[in-house]
Structure 1
Amino acid sequence: MTHGWLIGFFSTFVGIGVGGVIASFFNGFKRSIGTIYAVCTGLILGLLSFEIVPEAIQLGNWSVFFLGFFAGVILFKLIHLGFHKNPIISTESRKQHNLRIGLFLALIIAIHNFPVGVVFGTSEHSQFSLVLLQALILHNIPEGMILFTPLFIAGISYSMLFLLSIIIAVPVALGALIGEMIGQQNNLIWAFLISLTVGTIYMVTIKEILPESIRQSSNRYSLLFTLIAFFLMGAYLIYY
């Protein structure tokens, strides 16, 4: 595999953009928005559980995984705290609320894409890179749907979708370039970085995406579609 940074950038850009286009079709349908968030929650949790977490543990060990996971949780909490300390948030309108959620998700996704890019670059010539490439493609589409759903409700344009897709894809390319220069030297470091991304995206899913699905629909409705999507993703990854 050559030019891993370009492949990583293009896969992320296309996945996020496709997810955004799908989200635009459901814009304005309140019940559908709750369904989108529930389905995306299940898809992401399924991808983490059946694909990324086992690979991180195989690459390192359980201790490294838990250390990286909790580092990702702490990173999420620090960013989340910074957003909620903004005094504007307490008096924000519904439009501002959706805009804040979308920008917060964009920041988190961009940050967690960097270590994914580093690992992808270091494993460019190994079988593990194919796993990461599949993970990039599979999880970027639901992430794009989750990211752009509140932004479309807030009234952003398609040009902003294009720009944000580029911004979110750039950290993957930068990380892959650094990974290619470093080379695959220490599996424990790469396992830690993958585990860190698992921690951040898990927290985003549980603390931001799933609650928004429940708010748009109901506990039972959201749980049902989350479980369906979770097991469908699991079946796909196991039997594909």
Structure 2
Amino acid sequence: MAPVWFIGFLSTFAGIGAGGLLVWVIKGLKRSIGTIYGLCTGLILGLISFELVPEALQLGNWKFVFVGFLTGIMLFKLLHIVVRKNAVTTNELHNRKLGFFLTLMISIHNLPMGIVLGTGGASELSIALLQTLLLHNIPEGMILFAPLFIAGFSASLLFSISIIVAVPVGFGAFIGEFIGMQNPLLWTFLMSSTVGIIYMVAITEILAESTRRSSNMYSFLLAFIGFCLMGAYSIFY
């Protein structure tokens, strides 16, 4: 069997790449970007609610989940101030900055996910995390590449950014595999911090971008549909 770090890297790379390819083949991207972002917001929030949070609770308890979640929110806000403090004057610059900011956020979010993945080896928890990695990276890939493609970047960028985003998972899994499951509360904290980061990305970046390109009601309706679809998948899968 291949090492856990390699499987984690490959799953993330495949998910991000598949999401990017889906965006690339959609015609009339500029008109459909609000729809993509709204639906993907719901899918990501559904994955957080039905997959990541239960797995974090399985490792630890509500106290560490809550503290980790708040830490992720504060880390996001800090990075948001540092990376996006300059005003954006054109749509092209806005899309480029949004794309690269999402690349940074998703990469940071993927490192502790990889660490938790590696600590479990080939356990049932790791298999569930691998499924979660693959599933939630597809909408993340769509969200990540949509503004970059709109800004004029070619599809050749897809391969490079998919690797950049997947490397933290492989590196984190390698660290986790080396350390082992000696402190499950620490891993609970790390996983919950990733939940906090990706939650803030989904609400303040992705959903906000959807409402900017379409109506609030339409965006929230799509997010609700995506959330319900992920909930149905988690229940019946």
SS in 2 for 1:197: helix
The answer as to 2:4 corresponding to 1:24 is no
Q: Structure 2: where are the runs of 5+ without partners?
A: none
Alignment deviations for residues 74-104 of structure 1 (CA, whole Å, 9 cap, x no partner): 1100110012323xxx253210110000000
Q: Structure 1: where are the runs of 5+ without partners?
A: none
Mapping of residues 110-129 of structure 1, within 5 Å: 110-129=107-126
The count of corresponding residues between Structure 1 and Structure 2 is: 237
Mapping of residues 61-76 of structure 1, within 5 Å: 61-76=61-76
Which 4+ residue blocks in structure 1 deviate beyond 3 angstroms? 27-31
CA distance in 2, matches of 1:132, 1:226: 23
CA distance in 2, matches of 1:167, 1:84: 20
Aligned to 1:157: 154
The answer as to 2:197 corresponding to 1:203 is no
1:213 to 210, 215, 222: 210
CA distance in 2, matches of 1:76, 1:128: 26
Greater displacement, 150-159 / 198-207: 150-159
**Contact preservation (8 Å) 1:27, 1:33:** no
CA distance in 2, matches of 1:175, 1:202: 20
Q: What is the TM-score normalised by the length of structure 2?
A: 0.97
Aligned to 1:39: 39
Identical pairs, percent: 61
**Contact preservation (8 Å) 2:73, 2:200:** yes
**Contact preservation (8 Å) 1:27, 1:152:** no
Residues 91, 185 of structure 1: alpha-carbon distance in 2 compared, 3 angstrom cutoff:
closer
The answer as to 2:6 corresponding to 1:10 is no
Aligned to 2:172: 175
1:27 deviates by 5.6
Superposition RMSD on alpha carbons, in Å? 1.1
Alignment deviations for residues 134-157 of structure 1 (CA, whole Å, 9 cap, x no partner): 110110000000000000000111
**Contact preservation (8 Å) 1:30, 1:216:** no
**Contact preservation (8 Å) 1:15, 1:137:** yes
**Contact preservation (8 Å) 2:68, 2:189:** yes
